[in-house]
Amino acid sequence: MKSYLLYGKKDVRYCDIPYPDDTADNEVIVKIKSVGICGSDIHYYQDGKIGDFIPREPFALGHELSGVIEKESSLYPELKKGTRVAINPSRPCKTCVHCQAEKQNLCPSMKYIGSASVYPHLNGGFSEYIKIPAENCVPLKDFISFEMASLLEPLSVVLHALNLAGDLEGKSVLITGAGTIGQLCHMAASLYTSEPIVITDIRTPALEKATKIGVKAALNPLESDFEANLTSLAPYGFDILLEASGASNILTNTVKFIKKGGKIVQL
Ligand SMILES: [Zn+2]
Ligand SMILES: [Zn+2]
């Protein structure tokens, strides 16, 4: 089958790799239909690595994906061949103290598809097919397209952050970073509050996108009237900051715009 493998910095190759036919009883094979490109995928491509995750062998990126069941698991009869599914890319150990406390996202032994965080690396979604535990497949309602479904992984990240932020009703929200995560933060948060939601970024196209999807104000910190605009929208500061830029200096520069007693969630 065909796959796009990351060989190194700015080196992705269109390759033939073996079809993953050796499934265990609890595994299925999914024919992949749509894959999102995460910021981490771009880091792997542009830098050949991300932080401490340094690839030791070629592997397929892509952890935001959807597809249809190609090969069934006898243990999961509800996942018939042809069932449309989104894929949960994380595979926690299920035995550590965090997994036992139902906080699998904190698992230090987490395996993740399309990531060099563990070795051997697990191939991600930029392939024709993927072998995956059946429990990682989430059947899709008819109205959810494959493209929408590939956004469910970043949307899950956002919903977890909103849960940590608590009740949003009547709260103003500042979102730093207007990438996919920041935009999804706005879309989700706007369902829970009618107070101002403001998004910031230094990239004009990202701000234009935010304006298009209806954000109250999309502001550029490099503009001279940035501070005055933010202060006029929330004179006592914002109730909640959702930090979705990943830039190291953002928290230091932004904390003064948060209300005393407000809440900060880093994504
Ligand atoms: Zn990601
Ligand atoms: Zn664990």
CA distances, 211 to each of 81, 191, 215, 234 (Å): 41, 16, 5, 18
| For the CA of 155, the nearest ligand | 1
CA distance 60 to 185: 28
Q: Are 98 and 106 in contact (CB under 8 A)?
A: yes
Q: What is the 3-state secondary structure (H, E, C) of the chain?
A: CEEEEEEECCEEEEEECCCCCCCCCCEEEEEEEEEECCHHHHHHHHHCCECCECCCCCECCCCEEEEEEEECCCCCCCCCCCCEEEECCEECCCCCHHHHCCCHHHCCCCEEECECCCCCCECCCCECEEEEEHHHEEECCCCCCHHHHCCHHHHHHHHHHHHHHCCCCCCCEEEECCCHHHHHHHHHHCCCCCCCEEEECCCHHHHHHHHHCCCCEEECCCCCCHHHHHHHHCCCCEEEEEECCCCCCHHHHHHHHEEEEEEEEEC
Domain 2-150 has CATH 3.90.180.10: yes
Phi/psi at 104 (5° precision): -60, -25
Q: Where are the domains of the chain?
A: 2-150, 155-266
Distance 205 CA to ligand 1 centre (A): 21
Contacts of residue 54, Cβ cutoff 8 Å, sequence gap at least 6: 48, 116
What's the confidence (pLDDT) of residue 248? 85
What's the confidence (pLDDT) of residue 56? 96
Q: What is the CA radius of gyration of the chain?
A: 20
| For the CA of 111, the nearest ligand | 2
Phi/psi at 102 (5° precision): 65, 25
Q: Using pLDDT thresholds of 50, 70 and 90, give the confidence band for residue 81.
A: very high
Distance 89 CA to ligand 2 centre (A): 15
pLDDT digits (tens, 9 = 90+) for 127-170: 999 999 999 999 999 999 999 999 999 999 999 999 999 999 99
pLDDT digits (tens, 9 = 90+) for 200-239: 999 999 999 999 988 889 999 999 999 999 999 999 999 9
Q: The tokens of 51 are what?
A: 């932080």
Distance 236 CA to ligand 2 centre (A): 41
What's the confidence (pLDDT) of residue 21? 84
Question: Closest by alpha carbon to 175, among 164, 165, 186, 167?
Answer: 186
Domain 155-266 has CATH 3.40.50.720: yes
Distance 228 CA to ligand 1 centre (A): 34
Q: The tokens of 79 are what?
A: 């996942």
Distance 138 CA to ligand 2 centre (A): 21
Q: The tokens of 191 are what?
A: 């369902």
Q: Are 58 and 95 in contact (CB under 8 A)?
A: no
ipTM score assigned to the predicted complex: 0.94
Q: Using pLDDT thresholds of 50, 70 and 90, give the confidence band for residue 261.
A: very high
What's the confidence (pLDDT) of residue 125? 97
Q: Are 48 and 40 in contact (CB under 8 A)?
A: no
